[in-house]
Structure 1
Amino acid sequence: MPFPIKVCAVCSEEFELKPDKPGFANRCPECSAPEAPEAAAKDKVDKEANQARREAMRNLLYRKDS
């Protein structure tokens, strides 16, 4: 049984949708490839900054004034 033929939503190329294909079902394997390492590093920095902001707000809101 052949795999269904799909059209990539990003580059409009046709590709076979295989069951073990990584990424999105509406994107070809090239467009579904993981992002560049710089983008992943930026996401990590943003995540750490957001965590620090949450901790600072929690400390300000819930600290006990003696």
Structure 2
Amino acid sequence: MKNDLPERRERAGISQAELAEAVGVTRQTINAVERGRYDPSLDLAFALAGYFECRIEDVFSPADE
């Protein structure tokens, strides 16, 4: 699964640790999601999209796109 979390974080001016705290996971989890090594649970995907005030589909897309 592809995502644009690093770009969104940069625009928001926050670190992985700050994003992790805001959505209730570890910094390592955010790092793994950003690198495409871990597909987030539906709950985490909703939390991330909610944090950035957008839809899940705005943050995540299938890897084959």
Query: TM-score under structure 2 normalisation?
Result: 0.18
Higher RCO (CA < 8 A, seq sep 6+):
2
Query: TM-score under structure 1 normalisation?
Result: 0.18
More helix as a share of residues: 2
